[in-house]
A and B are shown apart, each in its own frame.
Chain A
């Protein structure tokens, strides 16, 4: 059974940093492109970014709203995905999901975690 379990959310002050983790199991993590998607309270889904696999040099893309502040990384030996969030703003408050496709590079995300809440507030 595929499982994605996010952790690391919490309350952080504006300008602060936070690192989210996503533990994966039940599939060949190292083959898959991995993604972060967020959802602000009462709002819609927003794509945050993606990291590709080793065969594609672990390249990453980001949404314009987080580019330069957020960094996605992965540790294939630990089947884990990370999201380093710096210079956090109140508008970054959201539930953060990690997600991936059924196929390694699918842009349709079949598997989702339960999400972890990040609250940016003073």
Chain B
């Protein structure tokens, strides 16, 4: 199972919106609505930001939103803040009943 494809890096200024893409195949992203997004700050465990494509866990800011079209899922962060600077990972359930992560995207807040 190959890793999902994410851009290596994205950047934006405070207050702006950014979108991170996550491209898979019909065997993972395109085949299930079980795409999740994680935020990870250096030296910390990942934090779940979005599950099942577009659902936010309790306590996660509504500035974070998720969507999916075909084999590509997206995470959008609006009203960018300094504390959003982190690594972001997508994941998807697969036809093999396994899970696959994306390679990760480093978000820089300018």
> Which residues of A come within 8 Å of B, CB atoms?
35, 37, 44-47, 50, 61-64, 97, 101-102, 106-110, 112-115
Number of residue pairs across A and B with beta carbons under 8 Å?
Answer: 65
| Closest B residue, CB atoms, query A44 | B104
| The residue from B50, B89, B93 contacting A45, defined by CB atoms under 8 A apart | B89
Give every chain B residue within 8 A of A63 (Cβ-Cβ).
1, 98
Cβ contact within 8 Å between B46 and A110: no
| Closest B residue, CB atoms, query A112 | B45
Q: In the complex, which range does the number of interface residues on chain B fall in? A: 20 to 34
Give every chain B residue within 8 A of A45 (Cβ-Cβ).
38, 40, 46, 89, 91, 101, 104
Cβ contact within 8 Å between B36 and A108: yes
Q: Taking the complex as formed, is B52 at the interface, i.e. its CB lies under 8 A from any CB of chain A? A: yes
Within the complex, what minimum Cβ distance (angstroms) separates B107 from chain A?
14
Given contacts A44-B3, A45-B89, A64-B1, contact A108 B52 (CB under 8 A): yes
